[in-house]
Amino acid sequence: MSRTVLNCGYVPLIDSAPLIIARELGFAAEEGLDLNLVRQPSWSALRDMLALGHLDAAQMLSPMPVAMSLGLGGLPAKIDSLMGLSVNGTVFGVSQKLAGDLGPVPFGDPHALLRALAGRGRGPLRVGVPFPFSMHRLLLSYWTQSAPDLAVEVVTVPPPRMADAVADGHVGAFWVGEPWGSAIVGRGVGSILMAGRHVWGFAPEKVLAARHDWIADNPDPTRHLMRAVYQSARWLDIEKNKPLAVEILGRSEHLNLSQEVIEPALTGLLTLTQGGTPQRIDQFLMFHNHAASFPWRSQAAWIAARLGADAAGIERAKQCFRSDLYRANLGPIGADLPGASEKVEGAIAEKTAVASSRGQMILAPDAFFNGRMFDFSASSDQ
Amino acid sequence: MRKDLRILVVEADTAKAKNIIDALLEAGWSDVHAIAQVSGLEQSILKHAPDIVLIDMANPDRDTLEHIGVVSDTKSRAVAMFVDQTDQDLTQAALAAGVSAYVVDGLQMNRIKSVIETAIARFQMMRQMQSELEAAKQALEDRKTIDRAKGILMRRRDMSEDAAYKLLRKAAMDQGRKVIDVAQALVTASDLLT
């Protein structure tokens, strides 16, 4: 039987791993798919290719489908998130020069870091992010808005160029996904001061996206694709598989990078400053564990709220996170399904068992740095 | 039609940039500028105040342009050309040719149409030249590899050039691979063993 060819866009990053592994280790083939991974030079190019039908599916930054559902950005189109591809995995850091000005700041302490940055004086802080509709930018603005005297200027810098932008002083700080944070440290031009998870403990980072109409017209390929990616993500979160994952991702046809810059994100052992000892960061990047691939509608709501949506907009955003399809397509192959598709975001302080279809679901801490909680079912946040 | 639109081309490759500018000048636009990279694009936009920004779709700096247009509070609100799907054919043609246009200040589609068409034609020409060049380079590389593989077989198995090639071809057919892949494997293995 011939396999169904699916063209799937991606931007070469560590968190494209579920797609790359699905192809390379045969999870896609087992589902009867020929998963053709099409590398994209930018998020805007990927979005246009997906929206205009040149791609069937794509890896996207989690805020992209939400932004599109709200009519924000270059191309309004109905794009749904089928499932999460990754949770967390980003880092915030500053140039070597600014690190010197700040003096010692304890790692992973958003409050102390904010005080240090606000106290440094001298004009706005220019921060490089990969794309306007990225979790990086949303977390940055969420975090810095609690320091009104810190002026922040956000600039978009394609991640492969971030190290140059930091080196030549175009930006003083950066918020990027791996491997680009480790690449900046490796070049000795900047230091990592915290991970994205220090601002939000469980932030949806990349999602598997497709056009709403395409999903409706192609239920079988959709189901197969979701199952292949689900198996791939599960494989990726098994400790003993990590060395092989690092090797495959580094290959020239994928990330084309040395294993030293790929390893930190997958093992959660990051070197924060050149020559420093690697430090373990819990929950640095997750693909599968703790329901990482479940498209929580409350997460879509948080993103929409941060993008300035009203109640109707938040409702639309929730609908584009397809927890209904996740249940229908992955339940039969044994995925543990949570009792509800929304949760109070920020309410989990430590690992907590919750009601689920197989009774094995343990959710990981998802606290915000300021201890706030968001309950969108009550359509108000406290 | 008045040819008074101000056009900014973002292109790091100076030869390519010149090519596009020439095409636009030939087509009658006189107010055309080029910049190599978008770091500092905001300043360039303020300085040149372009009506349209043209950029290669393969250029990662597109995301920066997008940001300036979408998020910044500048008065010159750039909008991706692909927003205007009223002209599906043009949009698809631009996409296929790899040109992205950002329209600053919300011009009417009919005013930018000929600019885009000129750019599309030039991008297509460049793309074709580029792919022909790459194909030629690749063919040359492949030939060198196959020649090396043949040489290895001729030396080690004491066979004629013709027989060496036939053996490569047979191995490729038996394994369902391309001759170049088999040749490459042989060359790599031989390099490792000597």
Architecture per CATH, domain A4-88+204-254+285-337, reads as 3-Layer(aba) Sandwich (3.40)
Residues of B at the A interface, defined by Cβ within 8 angstroms: 39-40, 57-71, 79-80, 82-83, 91-92, 95, 100
Topology adopted by domain A90-202+268-280: D-Maltodextrin-Binding Protein; domain 2 (3.40.190)
Share of chain A above pLDDT 90, in %: 84
Contact B60/A41, CB-based, under 8 Å?
A: yes
B123 lies in the same domain as B178: no
Contact B9, B17 (CB under 8 A): yes
Buried b (16+ CB within 10 A) or exposed e, B33-55: ebbeebbebbebbeebebbbbbb
Q: Within a domain: residue B2?
A: no
A349 part of contact set with chain B, CB < 8 Å: no
CB contact under 8 A, B67 and A52: no
- Predicted confidence at residue A381, as pLDDT, reads 41
Q: Is residue B31 part of a domain?
A: yes
**Is the interface score ipTM higher than 0.90?**
no
A51, closest residue in chain B (CA to CA): B82
Contact with chain B for residue A155, Cβ under 8 A:
yes
Mean pLDDT of A153-165: 91
Q: Regarding beta strands A279-280 and A57-61, do their DSSP bridges make them parallel or antiparallel, or are they unpaired?
A: unpaired
> Which residue ranges in chain B fall short of pLDDT 50?
71-79, 83
Residues B149 and B178 in one domain: yes
Residues of A with CB below 8 A from B39's CB? 157, 165, 170
In terms of domains, do B28 and B112 share one?
Answer: yes
Give chain A's mean pLDDT. 93
- pLDDT of the residue at B64: 83
Q: Which residues of A touch B61 (CB under 8 A)?
A: 42, 158
What pLDDT is stored for residue A382 in this prediction? Answer: 35
pLDDT, position A123: 85
Q: What is the DSSP string of A109-165?
A: -HHHHHHHHHTT-SSPEEEEES-SSSHHHHHHHHHHTT-TT--EEEEE--GGGHHHH
Give the Cβ contact number of residue B155 at 10 Å.
11
pLDDT digits (tens, 9 = 90+) for A96-123: 999 999 999 999 999 999 999 998 877 8
DSSP result, chain B: ------EEEE-S-HHHHHHHHHHHHHTT---EEEES-STTHHHHHHHH--SEEEEETT-TTHHHHHHHHHTS--SS-EEEGGG-TTSHHHHHHHHHHTEEEEEET---HHHHHHHHHHHHHHHHHHHHHHHHHHHHHHHHHHHHHHHHHHHHHHHHH---HHHHHHHHHHHHHHHT--HHHHHHHHHHHHHHH-
CB contact under 8 A, A132 and B70: yes
Do B153 and B83 belong together in one domain? no
In a domain? residue B138:
yes
**CATH 3.40.190.10 residue spans of chain A:** 4-88+204-254+285-337, 90-202+268-280
Residue A188 clears pLDDT 60, i.e. is over it: yes
Least confident range from A57-61, A301-305, B121-125: namely: B121-125
Residues of B in contact with A134 (CB under 8 A): none
Of the candidates B111, B130, B149, which is a domain's last residue?
Answer: B130
Residues of chain A in contact with residue B100, where contact means CB-CB under 8 angstroms, are 44-45, 48
Statement: residue A277 has pLDDT above 90:
yes
- The Cα of B60 is separated from the nearest Cα of chain A by a number of Å equal to 5
What's the pLDDT tens digit per position in B99-139?
777 766 556 666 677 777 887 787 778 778 878 888 999 99
Residues B60, A158: C-beta atoms closer than 8 Å: yes
Q: What is the pLDDT of residue B83?
A: 45
Chain segment A231-244, per-residue pLDDT in tens: 999 999 999 999 99
What φ, ψ does residue A252 adopt, rounded to 5°? -60, -35
Average pLDDT over residues A77-96: 96
Chain B contact set for A76 (CB, 8 A)? 83
Residues A195-215 pLDDT 10s: 999 999 999 999 999 999 999
Whether B47 and B92 share a structural domain = yes
The CATH number given to whatever domain includes residue B80 is: 3.40.190
Task: Tell me: pLDDT of A134 over 50.
Answer: yes
Pairing of strands A279-280, A269-270: antiparallel
Domain of residue B96: give its range. Answer: 7-130
For A291-338, what is the HEC assignment?
Answer: HCCCCCHHHHHHHHHHCCCCHHHHHHHHHCECHHHHHHHHHHHCCCCE
Judged by CB atoms closer than 8 Å, whether chains meet at B60 and A42 is answered as yes
Total domains present in chain B: 2
Looking at beta carbons, which residues of chain A come within 8 Å of B67?
131-132, 154-156
Nearest to A132 among B40, B60, B67 (CB): B67
- What pLDDT shows up at residue B106? 57
Which residue is closest to B101 within chain A, CA to CA?
A74
Q: Are residues B114 and B185 in the same domain?
A: no
- Which of B82, B26, B80 is closest to B52 using CA atoms? B80
Give the domain-ending residue among B130, B149, B170: B130
Q: What does DSSP assign to residue A203?
A: -
* pLDDT value at residue B73: 41
Q: Across the interface, do A170 and B39 touch by the CB < 8 Å criterion? A: yes
The pLDDT of A118-138, averaged and rounded, is: 92
Same domain, B182 and B90: no
pLDDT at A171 over 70: yes
pLDDT in the model for residue B53: 82
CB pairs under 8 A between A and B: 76
Q: Does residue B120 form part of some domain?
A: yes
Residues B70, B93, single domain; the answer is: yes
CB neighbour list of residue A301: distance below 8 Å, 6 or more residues apart: A314, A317, A318, A342, A374, A376
Residue that has been written with the tokens 């070597």 in this structure: A96
Q: What pLDDT is stored for residue B100 in this prediction?
A: 74
